[in-house]
Amino acid sequence: MTEQVKKPVKITETILRDAHQSLIATRMTTEQMLPILELMDKVGYHAVECWGGATFDASLRFLKEDPWERLRKLRAGFKNTKLQMLFRGQNILGYRHYADDVVEYFVQKSVANGIDIIRIFDALNDLRNLQCAVNAANKEKCHAQIAISYTLGDAYTTEYYVNMAKQIEEMGADSICIKDMAGLLVPYEATNLVTAIKGEVKIPIDLHTHYTSGVAGMTYLKAVEAGCDIIDTAMSPFAMGTSQPATEVMVETFKGTPYDTGFDQDLLAEIADYFRPMQEEALKSGLLNPKVMGVDIKTLLYQVPGGMLSNLVSQLKEQNAEDKYYDVLQEIPRVRRDFGEPPLVTPSSQIVGTQAVLNVLAGERYKMITKESKAILSGEYGQTVKPFDPEVQKKAIGDKKPITCRPADLLEPELDKIEQEMIEWKQQDEDVLSYALFPQVATEFFKYRQTQQTKVDVTVADTENKAYPV
């Protein structure tokens, strides 16, 4: 038997972004990250995902930190490792569509401050909402990875995903990510999907999943055997549950095979030791709920991501209607169908979930319709895979003509106007972008920053390692 060709699987480490976002509400501070960067830099990761997603909002809102400052410090610490961020297409890191000039400027500044790989996705898989960000990344010579939001439903066939992968390659993406945010991709389906996409596109495939339903490690194994090039993992103290499979486990799994990563387990153990007290502290303080560390196979039944489930429970608690939990779980797939069967990921998961709660509590479907539901049904978020239910759409928007073009085509350039609005707070170009995405939260942060600066004697301040204590 001839020896198999070596094809080491590449690993993207998520502990500095998705892992703590999924398990402890994005509360890891820059100060907690910095001491371990030197060791992490020696591992040989394909990339470290450390920015974007909810980290931007959480830094400003809860940690009183400048996210741009965090990125610069991470860049200084990682001498040999590529840095990756998650970017929500035309929504950037916020919750509405922004004009193209804001998207382009955000990409430019992200790259200038140290990002090497931008993973770009759209909640509805509407590729029109990604083109502007991809073009901007290409222009900045940054690696543009386009993510397909993976979900289940009549419309989501292997053929659908393969066609999407082909279009993604044509758009100018450098790689494709299968983004399985709810842990719905099961092992043998991963074999089929990766094999099918590999047969049609030349660019590398990255698989991202969550442990929510308990199959993620096995899914990675089958995907890698089928030709998947990169997998996303998290160091064990912040792995499993609603996070990713553990880095050390996947490294051990492929040891001695053609997919061997060559990573040093002793080095990984030292890194895990650094994060373990943080995990214990989070458990003690209640920031890490043991519930999210379990496995919930119901995820596959209702296709509801872990974060969305905990949201539902708290919404029902507030209304003293916890007994309606299973009614809501059954209503979610129905609302999703009415809304054109979108993948359930931020912000579509929140919109569908809230509408399902209202339908159940009101005792009548669509008696009350949220403004976000109206926005989806009027095409403001883009195009869904299937058409909307015409009756539900009429009930929501009446005779208003729905948008059929790319929603951002209707937006005027807004960068100059935004800068004028916040000019009194501007200390760096990037402040304009922080304000563009989160006007109120950023203003609060700018005020806080000012009070801190008046107290610090710059001549003696340790400006190099400065981190705002919380």
What pLDDT score was predicted for residue 146?
A: 98
Q: How is residue 59 annotated by DSSP? A: I
- How far apart (Å, rounded) are the C-alpha atoms in residues 388 and 335? 10
What pLDDT score was predicted for residue 165?
A: 98
Torsion angle of the four alpha carbons 168, 173, 174, 179, in this order, in degrees rounded to the nearest 10? -60
What pLDDT score was predicted for residue 461?
A: 44
Asked, for residue 290, whether it belongs to a domain, the answer is no
470 pLDDT band, cuts 50/70/90, is very low
Q: CA-based diameter of the chain, in Å?
A: 72
Asked, for residue 155, whether it belongs to a domain, the answer is yes
- Higher pLDDT: 182 or 428? It is 428
In DSSP terms, which residues pair with 51 in a beta bridge?
A: 85
Q: With pLDDT > 90 as the criterion, what percentage of the chain qualifies?
A: 83
- Residue 121 CB neighbour total at 10 angstroms: 26
Do 168 and 204 belong to one domain?
A: yes
What pLDDT score was predicted for residue 307?
A: 65
Residues 18 and 244 sit within 8 Å (Cβ to Cβ): yes
299 pLDDT band, cuts 50/70/90, is confident
Do 63 and 192 belong to one domain?
A: yes
- Higher pLDDT: 53 or 300? It is 53
Asked, for residue 456, whether it belongs to a domain, the answer is no
Q: What is the mean pLDDT of residues 337-365?
A: 93
Do 359 and 276 belong to one domain?
A: no
Q: Which of 404, 437, 454 is the last residue of a domain?
A: 404
Do 181 and 37 belong to one domain?
A: yes
Q: What is the mean pLDDT of residues 304-331?
A: 83
Q: Which of 3, 9, 14, 416 is nearest to 242 (CA)?
A: 14
Q: Domain containing 384 — which CATH number?
A: 1.10.472.90
What pLDDT score was predicted for residue 235?
A: 98
- How far apart (Å, rounded) are the C-alpha atoms in residues 111 and 143? 10
What pLDDT score was predicted for residue 455?
A: 65
**Structural domain that includes position 373:** 304-404
Render pLDDT for 127-174 as a digit per residue (tens, 0 to 9). Answer: 999 999 999 999 999 999 999 999 998 899 999 999 999 999 999 999
Q: What is the mean pLDDT of residues 308-327?
A: 84
Q: Domain containing 151 — which CATH number?
A: 3.20.20.70
CA of 429: how far to CAs of 110, 112, 136, 289, in Å?
A: 12, 11, 18, 38
Do 163 and 267 belong to one domain?
A: yes
CA of 457: how far to CAs of 168, 454, 467, in Å?
A: 51, 8, 15
Do 246 and 320 belong to one domain?
A: no
Do 129 and 254 belong to one domain?
A: yes
Q: Which of 252, 285, 318 is the last residue of a domain?
A: 285
- Higher pLDDT: 469 or 429? It is 429
Q: pLDDT at residue 406 above 90?
A: yes
- Predicted TM-score (pTM) of the model is 0.92
Look over the chain and give the mean of its residue pLDDT values, rounded to a whole number: 93
Render pLDDT for 355-402 as a digit per residue (tens, 0 to 9). Answer: 999 999 999 999 999 999 999 999 999 999 999 999 999 999 999 999
What pLDDT score was predicted for residue 314?
A: 78
Count: domains in the chain: 2
Do 142 and 112 belong to one domain?
A: yes
Do 71 and 117 belong to one domain?
A: yes
Classify each residue of 82-113 as buried b or exposed e, where b means 16 or more C-beta atoms within 10 Å of its C-beta.
Answer: bbbbbbbbbbbbbeebbbbbbbbbbbbbbbeb
466 pLDDT band, cuts 50/70/90, is very low
Asked, for residue 441, whether it belongs to a domain, the answer is no
464 pLDDT band, cuts 50/70/90, is low
* Structure tokens that stand for 107 in this block: 């990409």
List of residues 6+ apart from 291 with CB closer than 8 A: 310
Q: What is the mean pLDDT of residues 104-116?
A: 98
What pLDDT score was predicted for residue 156?
A: 96
Cβ-count burial of 290 within 10 angstroms (0-12 exposed, 13-18 middle, 19+ buried)? exposed
Do 159 and 270 belong to one domain?
A: yes
Q: Which of 404, 437, 463 is the last residue of a domain?
A: 404
Render pLDDT for 240-296 as a digit per residue (tens, 0 to 9). Answer: 999 999 999 999 999 999 999 999 999 999 999 999 999 999 999 989 988 788 888
